[in-house]
Structure 1
Amino acid sequence: MLINDINEIENNKNKGFLSILLGAYVVSIVLGLPLVFRDRYFDILVFKYYYYCFCTIVMILLLLLYFIVKKFKYRKSINYVKKIKESISKFTFLDRCIIIYWFIAFISTISSNYVYEAFWGNEGRFTGLFLITLYVLSYFCVSRFYIYKNWYLDLFLLGGAVVCLFGISDYFNMDILHFKVGMVPEQKDIFTSTIGNINTYTSYVGILTAISSVLFSKEERPIKRLFYYFCMVISFFAIIMGVSDNAYLSLMILFGFMPLYLFNKKIGVQRYLVIIASFFTVIQCISWINNAFSDSVVGIDSAFKIILGFKYLHLMLILLWSVILVWIFITKKKQTATKDLGNTIRFVWLGILGFGVIVMMYILYDCNIAGNDEKYSVVKNYLLINDDWGTNRGYIWRNAIESYNKLPFWNKLIGYGPETFGILLLKVTANNKYHQLFDSAHNEYLHTLITVGFLGLVTYISIIITFIKDCFKYKKNNHYIIAIAFGVICYITQATVNLSVPIVTPLLWLLMGIGSTKKVMYYN
């Protein structure tokens, strides 16, 4: 009996140490990584890369030290070989996909003509084998030893709100942090907050928007619901004022797929309408701000400008808010807000989404293949995919696909080497008409195809799909985990026109680790 009591005490101590270590690591990434900086924007990518590497390596070393000490202390009673075999036997499909992805990246690196560059990623945005290895180790450490608690995600949102507020202040050209002192004038508007490039910034804010929106839609406690609503509204302002077209991709996916999760109950429909009304209210407020402070703000020059030009928006919002308030009052009085609606409405919404996809495919065909682009004059620049499309993305995508097709079969399978995209494309894009150097495809999937090949791309997509499926299948009753899944969905959507950098991508791998943890505590 005494021996059992001693073992239980030791196990609790072990869990306590691991909880503190992994908890501190999670906080250092979700709160520290978005906020840390050294020399303003001049080395923001490099410094955040070093910061992430430092935090992850320290965490791994302390974890190893812990197990070494534990092995020394209990050298007669602990069979680590047996424990490792047991752990491997319990690997999930997601775990195996991640290991295969790392192995493909490893083979791609040692097979590359540029092994040093493929390992360190120094010819691109640092996503070489070394950083990929840290991502994978971070995932396994967090998913195995981290004890999830809700307040970690709240801290993530709180830190994100600070980042958003700095970004909003930059929209007013306040430059509170003096980051833009000494910058070339024409580049000042494409960098913001403590994140840097506006595309990276809106990718990060898109995750915040998704998580805060889902948590607001499911939270029952008034104070917490108010906190999530605040974070959501701040993120709406930030993602629009980030002035990046990438943002609307996240929002389209979020607003399009949330009803499939929420529309099984009346309260879910109500909360969704509140989210939509709040979003368009934010757009109306930004329109008023632009008119009142036209000489002081950056201004909107993106797809949101179309909505801002709708002169009856304020009348639509008055009507929408009136309907919402009346409906909430009626359902609250009759206490029917939590009534189960079944799956009918969700199936109807799924049909609407399917119809919308078909319409969009036809429009793209009509604009790009049938040659009727003049019919879409208002949004022609977004629909007509040519070399100039998406700030020259069309040009680099075309050249990337052509370069991939010329690769030997082996390189088609395992790639040219992690983060060697710029090396491969240097010759074919030299002296291009845009006078730019292209070290990234600005499409994470095309970039992955070139660098780690077809096998790497298939495995990477399998990782994402499996994680999202697991969240909705095994942890569907934990809306915090579902919120993480929506955050990942928004990230991978923007990734179609964005790039992987150690500013936001570490958060993706960390969120997947958190969402896959076996030790979930359902309290704050």
Structure 2
Amino acid sequence: MSNTKNKSETPRLTEKYSTRHAVLNYFLVLMFTVFPLFASDAFFNIRHDKYYFFLALSGVVIIAEAVLIYFAYFGDKKDCSPEMAVGDANTTKFSFTDWAMLAFLAVCVISTVFSKHTEDALFGSLTGRNNGLILIAFYVGIYFVITRCYYYMEYVFVALAAGSAVVYLLSVLNFCYIDPLGMYTRLDAKTIEDFTSTIGNKNLMSSFICVMLPVVITMSVHTKKSMLRIIYLVSSALGFMALMTADSDSGILGLGVFIVVMLIWYSRKISRLKRYFLCLTVMLASAKILRFFTVILSQSFGCRTKEIDEFQKLFVESNTGFVLIGIAAVITGALYIIDMQKPNLTLSKAVPFVLGSLFAVAVIAILSAVVYFSCVDTTTKLDGFLSILRFDESWGTHRGFMWIKSFDIFGDASFFQKLFGTGPDTFHYAFSPYFTELMKYGDSSTNAAHNEYLNYLITIGAFGLIAYLSVVGGTIARAIKKSFSNPLSIVCVSAVICYSVQAVVNIAQPITTPLFILFVALTEAVSRSNTGQNELV
């Protein structure tokens, strides 16, 4: 009995870097570099391209890791010390997030079996976005592989920074109608305006940014290597440029909340806060570099650019952008001076508490304004970005209409459908009674609520949504607890937080959601072990 206890409590610090770790890291490198860039025929069938790429690659890795784990468990275990073998208590013990992930899969199975549209629920391909049970099953499979086989190597994050930088650069070039990959061949003018890089439309590009950019920002804060910090900063700059060109409010929302949350998190340690503000300064400056680049192209070559919203123009075109750069630069310089004079200075616990309180007050104020302008004062004209303060059917490119009708659909659903939904990725069928009304907004149909949480509520029911929220909430909670001893935890969970925020106004699909699932799994993997603890500051 005592031997078992000692075995389960032994820290996983002596585990060797084995073949199963290497296989998983190579998989992650491919997912962070090749996967975002893969498109067999420009934008045509791009969703299916990435869907099958992910299924094929993750399927190979799941099988390979299963074989390696089998030999590690039943073989001679040469690649790790006896107490570190696969199958020990630390590996086989299930966490809250593990159970939540299994519950999510179980609900999806039940929902698919009893769906009136079983084939669509299984494949999600006929009228959906390939978010059927098969894709969800692969999500769960790769989640358990990563959480049991991950071993931190920083080259994976360097590959992420480099791979995403290429995607960002393509987006910036496409913004100027420069098409080096020939992605715009055979597209009409409207599609060219909406689609960018090798990701898809602007909303999907924003979703991609909300997964990848937070990771490179936090790695620029935590890496010990100055040369790698430069790589992360360059990637962050290109990412912010891409966010400006993506012209999507979902990305602004996700990254905005992330920036505030990270400010609160880093606010006590000057050594981290200085690097955080350095990255902010670089990103703000990149918006002006984007402006300079477009002006040069326009004046020298007569190139034109796509339109961006007023909020993005604040950073790119207005003088306010220079003011923000100046403020960020001054704060950065002051923090570096303070850190030189008083190394490792830690501020009072009251600092994050005050910042968090101010953020909470700001959120409450915004929500109160939405309620006021939506229910009390419905006549005052709200222009530009202020239009988000009035929620009605036309809100958010008629997302308001889809959300309101989604609640109506849920209210009219049978008891079973309230619990288990209509089947994964079958929103098209549930919403079809409202297609006629939807035409007044220019759409003849839709297959998503443009709110991931509402979409899950309709398609996999209350049980499915609760399971999904448990996965996300459990991941974030464990990461926060672990982050005090292992900074890699906050790096990985940053993608989870940012994506989860933008998901309020965006959709799940096999283009960017697989990357989100990878970081859910990586966050849980770090929470289970000490990987990366000594490699980051």
Q: TM-score, normalised by structure 2?
A: 0.87
Whole-Å separation in 2 of the counterparts to 1:245 and 1:390 = 9
How is 1:411-426 mapped onto 2 (pairs within 5 angstroms)?
411-426=417-432
Supply the AA of the counterpart residue of 1:420: T
Q: Please name the residue that 1:137 is paired with.
A: 141
Contact (CA 8 Å) 2:224, 2:535: kept in 1 or not?
A: no
Contact (CA 8 Å) 1:204, 1:504: kept in 2 or not?
A: yes
Alpha-carbon shift at residue 341 of structure 1 (Å): 0.6
The one of 100, 114, 118 aligned to 1:115: 118
What SS does the corresponding residue of 1:39 show, helix, strand or coil? strand
The one of 58, 62, 65 aligned to 2:64: 62
Q: Please name the residue that 1:481 is paired with.
A: 489
Whole-Å separation in 2 of the counterparts to 1:358 and 1:73 = 58
Whole-Å separation in 2 of the counterparts to 1:154 and 1:288 = 28
367-376 vs 403-412, which moves further? 367-376
Q: Please name the residue that 1:279 is paired with.
A: 283
Alpha-carbon shift at residue 373 of structure 1 (Å): 5.4
Q: Deviations over 1:233-290 (max 9, x none)?
A: 1111111111112111022111210122101122333333333333332333344455
Whole-Å separation in 2 of the counterparts to 1:324 and 1:354 = 25
Question: How high is the sequence identity, in percent, across the aligned residues?
Answer: 24
The one of 52, 55, 58 aligned to 1:53: 55
Q: Please name the residue that 2:264 is paired with.
A: 260
Contact (CA 8 Å) 1:374, 1:380: kept in 2 or not?
A: no
Alpha-carbon shift at residue 395 of structure 1 (Å): 1.7
> Is 1:152 matched up with 2:127?
no
Contact (CA 8 Å) 1:150, 1:480: kept in 2 or not?
A: no
Whole-Å separation in 2 of the counterparts to 1:147 and 1:502 = 25
Whole-Å separation in 1 of the counterparts to 2:376 and 2:224 = 51
Q: Please name the residue that 2:509 is paired with.
A: 501
Q: Please name the residue that 2:175 is paired with.
A: 171
Q: Please name the residue that 1:303 is paired with.
A: 311
Alpha-carbon shift at residue 465 of structure 1 (Å): 1.0
Whole-Å separation in 2 of the counterparts to 1:416 and 1:510 = 27
Supply the AA of the counterpart residue of 1:33: F
What SS does the corresponding residue of 1:303 show, helix, strand or coil? helix
The one of 194, 200, 204 aligned to 2:198: 194
Alpha-carbon shift at residue 23 of structure 1 (Å): 2.2
Q: Deviations over 1:395-436 (max 9, x none)?
A: 211222111111001110111100110111123214622233
Q: Deviations over 1:127-180 (max 9, x none)?
A: 111110000000001111232222212211211111111111111110111100
Cα root mean square deviation, aligned:
2.6
Contact (CA 8 Å) 1:208, 1:232: kept in 2 or not?
A: no
Q: Deviations over 1:21-66 (max 9, x none)?
A: 2222222222221111100100110011011011111122223444
How is 1:429-448 mapped onto 2 (pairs within 5 angstroms)?
429-430=435-436, 432-433=439-440, 434-448=442-456
Q: TM-score, normalised by structure 1?
A: 0.89
Q: How many residues align?
A: 503
Alpha-carbon shift at residue 509 of structure 1 (Å): 1.3
Q: Please name the residue that 1:78 is paired with.
A: none
Q: Please name the residue that 1:228 is paired with.
A: 232
Q: Please name the residue that 2:19 is paired with.
A: 17
Contact (CA 8 Å) 2:213, 2:239: kept in 1 or not?
A: yes
Whole-Å separation in 2 of the counterparts to 1:451 and 1:87 = 35
The one of 447, 451, 461 aligned to 1:453: 461
260-269 vs 137-146, which moves further? 260-269
How is 1:240-251 mapped onto 2 (pairs within 5 angstroms)?
240-251=244-255
Q: Please name the residue that 2:105 is paired with.
A: 102
Alpha-carbon shift at residue 314 of structure 1 (Å): 2.4
Instruction: Flag the structure with more relative contact order, 1 or 2, with Cα contacts below 8 A and sequence separation at least 6.
Output: 1
> Is 1:363 matched up with 2:343?
no
Q: Please name the residue that 2:470 is paired with.
A: 462
Contact (CA 8 Å) 1:245, 1:302: kept in 2 or not?
A: no
* Structure 1 pair 35–400 and aligned structure 2 pair: CA distance change class (3 A): same
Contact (CA 8 Å) 2:457, 2:464: kept in 1 or not?
A: yes
Q: Please name the residue that 2:402 is paired with.
A: 396
Contact (CA 8 Å) 2:162, 2:235: kept in 1 or not?
A: yes
Whole-Å separation in 2 of the counterparts to 1:274 and 1:73 = 50
Contact (CA 8 Å) 1:243, 1:302: kept in 2 or not?
A: no
Contact (CA 8 Å) 1:418, 1:452: kept in 2 or not?
A: yes
Alpha-carbon shift at residue 67 of structure 1 (Å): 5.5
Contact (CA 8 Å) 1:206, 1:239: kept in 2 or not?
A: no
* Structure 1 pair 416–337 and aligned structure 2 pair: CA distance change class (3 A): same
Alpha-carbon shift at residue 114 of structure 1 (Å): 1.2
Q: Please name the residue that 1:321 is paired with.
A: 329
What SS does the corresponding residue of 1:203 show, helix, strand or coil? helix
What SS does the corresponding residue of 1:436 show, helix, strand or coil? coil
The one of 38, 43, 46 aligned to 2:45: 43
Unaligned runs of 5+ in 2: 1-13, 77-85
Q: Please name the residue that 2:8 is paired with.
A: none
What SS does the corresponding residue of 1:369 show, helix, strand or coil? helix
Q: Deviations over 1:82-111 (max 9, x none)?
A: x97968961011101111111111111111
What SS does the corresponding residue of 1:321 show, helix, strand or coil? helix
What SS does the corresponding residue of 2:380 show, helix, strand or coil? helix
Contact (CA 8 Å) 2:128, 2:447: kept in 1 or not?
A: yes
Whole-Å separation in 2 of the counterparts to 1:141 and 1:175 = 38
Whole-Å separation in 1 of the counterparts to 2:87 and 2:427 = 37
The one of 185, 188, 206 aligned to 2:189: 185
* Structure 1 pair 444–302 and aligned structure 2 pair: CA distance change class (3 A): farther
Alpha-carbon shift at residue 338 of structure 1 (Å): 2.0
How is 1:20-31 mapped onto 2 (pairs within 5 angstroms)?
20-31=22-33
Unaligned runs of 5+ in 1: 1-11, 75-82
What SS does the corresponding residue of 2:18 show, helix, strand or coil? helix
